[in-house]
Amino acid sequence: MKQIKSIVILVKVMHESINFAYQAISVNKMRTFLSLFGITIGIFAIIGVFTILDSLEKNVRESLESLGDNVVYVQKWPWSIGGDYPWWKYMNRPQPSLDDLAEIRSRSQFAQSAAIMLNFRTAIKYNRNSAPNAQVKAISDQYDEIRSFDIAEGRYFSPFELAAGRHIVILGNELASELFQGANAVGEVLKIGGYNVEVIGVLKKEGKSALGDDSHDNLALIPIDFARSFVDFRNVGLTIMVKAIDGMPASELIDELKGILRTFRRLKPVEDDNFALNQVGLLKQGIDNIFIMINLAGWIIGGFSILVGGFGIANIMFVSVKERTNIIGIQKALGAKNSFILLQFLYESVLLSVVGGAIGLFFIFIGTTLVSNLSDFTISLTFDNILLGLMVSAIIGVFSGYAPAWKASRLSPVEAINTKT
């Protein structure tokens, strides 16, 4: 019975607080608007930043997943995020080569697949349509076993075509649309590097990648032995991709590849590696640190607006206490306890603060909807961020309203009733 009575009292307090809060909003609209504006801006700033970062982080991590946690990239340059980059150490390193690939394939016990690829840009022409600076990716066999994609039209390269360096190409979805304007591309002949090249396939649309060039939508795939006829491999960056066998940690594959390449390149024990073994895990660690710093910056930026909004809520509550001094006195004369008065004003303060936060969240929802509809970058306001915004608003309401609520609860009934407001 005691618990039921307490619940009833709490409900009555909340009901009265809602009524008073509604009166404060409706009677003093401008004052209330200015007081809530700081909370609205603060929540908009903090949750807006978090919403953008969460969406960006999701896209980045999905792009990193496409690179493969169990894939090691043999390259000239090591990956790095942030900090000083000692490029002069790596400038004279040799590029990975087809000979390196052959050695890895013949000696590695931990590699399931190994392929080599080369990215470069050149003009691609079809009749009067052209892509003057199109990205081309020259690949070897086993590339499709490491990097997954789907064929929308036509087919993939056969092992014979890759080995023979046939003049054939598979186009990304958007590049095919740009060159052929929606017409069927398979079987048509276009020019790459001055050579006539037959289109044998078109890839299924993947969508934009947060890593930029990782998406296949805007590139052309050709056999790497065909690329050798018009690209000087000494002046471009080759990459060997090695996928570990199922269940094999990438770290063990890295150790094995390090031994194979040091032996093949005849490096002495005292000499440093003249190659880099890159893996997605290195990027993930750097990205985690970057997002932590940006999240902290978001809290700092929004925190100032929240602080201003908190003072606004405190101000409106002090005014509310003054305007309702007589009512407080009557309530106390009728037996209302200090805790009842305290909770009444605290609930009102929290309600006003949450209203300001909810308005900020509404503006974020409108903004994310517009951005998602008008661009290729998808931003979504998650339930976690909504909950965080409302919780921060409620906490600010508690801290901002406590002093006015405490002052109201300590008023003398006689003095309060006789006070002129």
The confidence score (pLDDT) of residue 154 equals: 94
CB 231 within 8 A of CB 246: no
The confidence score (pLDDT) of residue 329 equals: 80
Cα(5)–Cα(412) distance, integer angstroms: 26
**Which long-range contacts (C-beta less than 8 Å, at least 24 apart) are formed by 148-153?**
148/66, 149/203, 149/204, 149/206, 149/216, 150/203, 150/204, 151/201, 151/202, 151/203, 151/204, 152/202, 152/203, 152/204, 152/205, 153/184, 153/185, 153/186, 153/201, 153/202
pLDDT in tens, 388-404: 999 999 999 899 888 88
Predicted confidence band of residue 28 (pLDDT cuts 50, 70, 90): low
The confidence score (pLDDT) of residue 243 equals: 93
Only one residue has tokens 């490491």, namely 146
DSSP assignments along 59-109, one per residue: HHHHHHHHH-TTEEEEESS----SS---HHHHTTPPPP-HHHHHHHHHH-S
Share of the chain above pLDDT 90, in %: 37
In the predicted structure, residue 208 carries a pLDDT above the cut 80: no
DSSP label at residue 379:
-
In the predicted structure, residue 214 carries a pLDDT above the cut 70: no
The confidence score (pLDDT) of residue 46 equals: 84
Sequence-distant (6+) residues with CB within 8 A of 375 are: none
Lowest model confidence (mean pLDDT) among 229-243, 268-282, 285-299: 285-299
Phi, psi (deg, nearest 5) at residue 244: -75, 155
The confidence score (pLDDT) of residue 232 equals: 84
Only one residue has tokens 């076993």, namely 145
In the predicted structure, residue 27 carries a pLDDT above the cut 70: no
Lowest model confidence (mean pLDDT) among 35-39, 123-127, 359-363: 35-39
Predicted confidence band of residue 138 (pLDDT cuts 50, 70, 90): very high
The confidence score (pLDDT) of residue 203 equals: 94
Predicted confidence band of residue 184 (pLDDT cuts 50, 70, 90): very high
Lowest model confidence (mean pLDDT) among 52-66, 146-160, 358-372: 52-66
The confidence score (pLDDT) of residue 53 equals: 82
Tokens matching residue 185: 């591309």
In the predicted structure, residue 68 carries a pLDDT above the cut 80: no
Predicted confidence band of residue 200 (pLDDT cuts 50, 70, 90): very high
The confidence score (pLDDT) of residue 16 equals: 67
Most confident of 62-76, 84-98, 279-293, 367-381: 84-98
Show the DSSP H helices in 142-206 as ranges.
Answer: 143-146, 159-164, 173-180
The confidence score (pLDDT) of residue 350 equals: 87
The confidence score (pLDDT) of residue 6 equals: 67
**Which long-range contacts (C-beta less than 8 Å, at least 24 apart) are formed by 26-30?**
28/316, 28/319
pTM value > 0.95 = no
Predicted confidence band of residue 212 (pLDDT cuts 50, 70, 90): low
Q: Could you tell me which of 89, 100, 94, 88 has the C-alpha nearest to residue 76?
A: 94
Phi, psi (deg, nearest 5) at residue 38: -65, -45
Q: Could you tell me which of 49, 380, 378 has the C-alpha nearest to residue 208?
A: 378
Predicted confidence band of residue 26 (pLDDT cuts 50, 70, 90): low
Q: Taking residues 311-324, what's their average pLDDT?
A: 81
Sequence-distant (6+) residues with CB within 8 A of 361 are: 43, 44, 47, 381, 386, 389, 390
3-state secondary structure of 157: coil
Cα(369)–Cα(197) distance, integer angstroms: 43
Residues across the chain = 421
Helix axes 29-67, 338-374, angle to 10 degrees: 50
- To the nearest whole number, what is the mean pLDDT of the chain? 84
Cα(408)–Cα(346) distance, integer angstroms: 10
Q: How far apart are the first and last CA of the chain?
A: 39
Lowest model confidence (mean pLDDT) among 22-36, 334-348, 380-394: 22-36
Sequence-distant (6+) residues with CB within 8 A of 417 are: 326, 329, 330, 333
The residue with greater pLDDT, 407 or 411, is 407
Lowest model confidence (mean pLDDT) among 55-59, 168-172, 374-378: 374-378
Q: Taking residues 105-122, what's their average pLDDT?
A: 93
The residue with greater pLDDT, 302 or 92, is 92
Phi, psi (deg, nearest 5) at residue 75: -140, 170
Show the DSSP H helices in 192-337 as ranges.
Answer: 224-227, 250-264, 280-323, 325-333
In the predicted structure, residue 105 carries a pLDDT above the cut 70: yes
Tokens matching residue 233: 């491999």
